[in-house]
Chains A and B, each alone.
Chain A
Amino acid sequence: MRVMCAMSGGVDSSVAALLLKEAGHDVVGVTMKLWGGESDTGCCSVSDVDDARRVAQQLDIDHLVFNFGDDFNEHVVEPYVAAHSQGITPNPCIECNRSIKFARLAERADLLGFDAVATGHHAIIGRTATGAYTIERGADAGKDQSYVVHMLDQAQLARTMFPVGRMQKTELRSIAAAIGLRTATKPDSQDVCFITSTGGRATFLGDRIPFRPATVVDGDGDRLGEVEAVELVTVGQRKRLGLPGGGPKRYAIGVDVDAAVVTVGSETDLLRTELDVANITWVDAPQVDGPTAERRPADRVLVQTSAHGTPHAAKITAAGEGLNVLWDSEQRVVAPGQSVVFYDLTDRLVLGGGIAR
């Protein structure tokens, strides 16, 4: 097969390219230039592109750089900024997967005659007895990334490969080290690529949207303090709420951006019995624009609400355009905008997912 391997300059995608080549595929490595803004150390994260290119040279495969900066800005950065001004905190890495890696890049690959796009994600694409594609958790539980690729449907999965999904990270690093890849010991990337570690989210958003101060109140509406930017407060947050130290732990339990009011309460005030989820996608959906809430494959599922969060059992039922999650036991509130992913009760298969309302 002709496979386009998305190479970020990290060890996972380096080894993904290696494994594809060893399996006899015709592999071309591609690094996407997505962000040319401040957080980059130079032009187009030059050092990451350098790493990817050097690995491709060592593997004797062609390497290209595609500039999807405009698309990234339109589909990831601008929605991220706009969401914050509405009190919503999206996961930009998931939106990048949804609209860039498995859409824009995949379309480009298709156009150029490639059979599949491969990435270094820790997830497994399997097949059922009837031939349907499945997404399983990656073999390395600590590195599992099935959560961030949950939006893929059957058509996309048929043209996607996750070559390192069945491997342990340590194993993968030793393979990379054994053939002398310069990415073998490179640390895992942790943060959102367009936000600097020094400036953080506050600086990034502050350059783009006007921050509004908000009053911090308790459950009775009594004023306790003030925060400088209501746009930076996320439900569940405990720090930076403008409250004096000491006393009981208090959390943001409600953020009303329009009224510029943050309500705080105790940890138990964060607990919810239900969760509404919109923008539902199902892995078994036959096409990208077909998924509806009615097509849910199971009533009882495990629900994961953050990249490395613990899944909890719940019952899901159709509710309008979306789904209602009824937790078996009370769970912490999920900030609006977060991705919510459904797994089967064995906690192995991704069923689908959506976005918390």
Chain B
Amino acid sequence: MRVDSLDPVTITYLDCAATNPMRPAAIEAMLPYLREDYANPSGSHRFARRARRAIDESRDVVAAIVGCQPGEVVFTGGGTESDNMAVVGAVRRTGGAAVCTAVEHPAVLEVVELHGGVVVGVDHVGRVDLDELTAVLEERGPEVAIVSVMAVNNEVGTINDIEAVARIVRRHAPHALLHSDAVQAACWLDLRDVTRHVDLMSLSAHKFGGPKGVGVLVERGGARVDPLIVGGGQERQRRSGTQNTGGIVATAVALELTDAERVAEAVRLTPIRDRLVGRLTTEVDDCIETVPAEYKVAGSAHVCFDGLESEALLFLLDEDGICASAASSCASGAMDPSHVLAAMGVPRERAVGALRLTLGHETSDDHIDRAADVIVAAVAKLRR
């Protein structure tokens, strides 16, 4: 069957790590600020105060869920901006070096490399190599400005032990800031368990059912980095630019719903995800689960098909209405070989056959059956 429409009945969306559909309540919550309550929150009139209040209330909500003080929440223009601000801001503030893992999102990795930082390897499932991190910090600890370790990997879904990372950083680089890109963690982990160990944490609203173009950077316990965007002094001088009132309000609503449903969603989706991976690995020859379920979040399925190319597979899946992905996409839309899989030691010839299927709050049992049927048939077609 060729699918030409975006009819939700015929589309099976399994790309939730790329973005999640906005939660209807979040859409409803932002609309008033696009229509009647459009005032600039920095204004001095009653109209402006309404917008300002909406932002401050949203900040309270976000702070409570991530486990920090409201004054520690900075709203930004997205996850990439939050990550950039953390790394660049820390390096600029102290002149020190940046350290991150080899599997970070490019929003961190590219910035660290751009500033001549140190990249630490990972193990075969994508967890930061704690021994290597220790060695790097033992050697360069005093000059390290920031260590950035993602809470959950965006490609393979692997969870890092941020508490263990924090112990190492505090011991060997007590002056360094610890940042965690928690963009992929918001749907699956209790963010309070990440926040308590770090100085800086990044979130992206659209990954948890909020709007695109809104991010959060948590700056905890007096941790300060230089602002990336300067001007009007909004967000307490941390991030200038007129606030995106509606987007911030919707972000808080989406995060609140995500947090409330988080445990139940993991319980609901784990068997669904396991069934999907199980079908693929049993019904398709030479289909390897990249990271065992025990190491990763409930919404992530990632497999490699030997002797296959993701680009070809994704074309056939797309034709049949299955929205999936391979590695991260570059700006042109071309698929570059995954730096994450390379860092994990997955051979390149296997990595080119990667398929990432990520589940979210709208994913159902039916989606999984349909996706598995289509994928099995598509692989057979490509291997004929």
- Which of chain A's residues have a CB closer than 8 A to the CB of B315? 64, 112
Nearest-neighbor residue (CB-CB) of A67 within chain B: B334
Among B316, B330, B331, B336: residue with most chain A CB under 10 A: B330
Determine if A65 is an interface residue (Cβ-Cβ < 8 Å). yes
Among B309, B312, B332, B333: residue with most chain A CB under 10 A: B332
Interface residue total, chain B, C-beta cutoff 8 A: 15
- Which of chain B's residues have a CB closer than 8 A to the CB of A67? 311, 334-336
Nearest-neighbor residue (CB-CB) of A45 within chain B: B332
Query: Closest Cβ of chain A: how far from B323's Cβ, in Å?
Result: 14
Specify which of A44, A53, A112 is in contact with B330 (CB 8 Å cutoff).
A44
Determine if A46 is an interface residue (Cβ-Cβ < 8 Å). yes
- Which of chain A's residues have a CB closer than 8 A to the CB of B311? 64, 66-67, 108
Determine if A121 is an interface residue (Cβ-Cβ < 8 Å). no
Nearest-neighbor residue (CB-CB) of B4 within chain A: A62
Q: B332 near A46 (CB under 8 angstroms)?
A: yes
Q: A49 near B332 (CB under 8 angstroms)?
A: yes
- Which of chain A's residues have a CB closer than 8 A to the CB of B332? 31, 33, 43-46, 49-50, 65
Determine if B382 is an interface residue (Cβ-Cβ < 8 Å). yes
What string of 1s and 0s marks CB contacts (under 8 Å) between A57-73 and chain B?
Answer: 00000001111011000
Query: Closest Cβ of chain B: how far from A136's Cβ, in Å?
Result: 33
| Number of inter-chain CB pairs below 8 Å | 45
- Which of chain A's residues have a CB closer than 8 A to the CB of B312? 108, 111-112
Among A36, A111, A113: residue with most chain B CB under 10 A: A111
What string of 1s and 0s marks CB contacts (under 8 Å) between B298-329 and chain A?
Answer: 00000000000101100110000000000000
Determine if A210 is an interface residue (Cβ-Cβ < 8 Å). no
Determine if A42 is an interface residue (Cβ-Cβ < 8 Å). yes
Specify which of B316, B331, B337, B382 is in contact with A46 (CB 8 Å cutoff).
B331
Q: Size range of the interface on A?
A: 20 to 34
- On whether A43 and B316 interact (CB within 8 A), knowing A66-B311, A67-B336, A111-B382, the answer reads no
What string of 1s and 0s marks CB contacts (under 8 Å) between A63-96 and chain B?
Answer: 0111101100000000000000000000000000
Query: Closest Cβ of chain A: how far from B331's Cβ, in Å?
Result: 5
Nearest-neighbor residue (CB-CB) of B330 within chain A: A43
- Which of chain A's residues have a CB closer than 8 A to the CB of B331? 42-44, 46
Q: A49 near B333 (CB under 8 angstroms)?
A: yes
Q: A49 near B316 (CB under 8 angstroms)?
A: no
- Which of chain B's residues have a CB closer than 8 A to the CB of A111? 312, 382
Nearest-neighbor residue (CB-CB) of B314 within chain A: A64
Query: Closest Cβ of chain A: how far from B201's Cβ, in Å?
Result: 28
Query: Closest Cβ of chain A: how far from B312's Cβ, in Å?
Result: 6
The complex places the Cα of A69 from the Cα of B336 at a distance, in Å, of 9
The complex places the Cα of A80 from the Cα of B335 at a distance, in Å, of 25
What string of 1s and 0s marks CB contacts (under 8 Å) between B253-275 and chain A?
Answer: 00000000000000000000000
Query: Closest Cβ of chain A: how far from B57's Cβ, in Å?
Result: 40
Binding site for A on B (CB under 8 A): 309, 311-312, 315-316, 330-337, 381-382
Q: What would be 22 A-B contacts, judged by CB atoms less than 8 Å apart?
A: A33-B332, A42-B331, A43-B332, A44-B332, A46-B331, A46-B332, A49-B332, A49-B334, A50-B332, A53-B333, A64-B315, A64-B333, A65-B333, A65-B335, A66-B334, A67-B334, A67-B336, A69-B336, A108-B312, A111-B382, A112-B315, A113-B381
Binding site for B on A (CB under 8 A): 31, 33, 36, 42-46, 49-50, 53, 64-67, 69-70, 108, 111-113
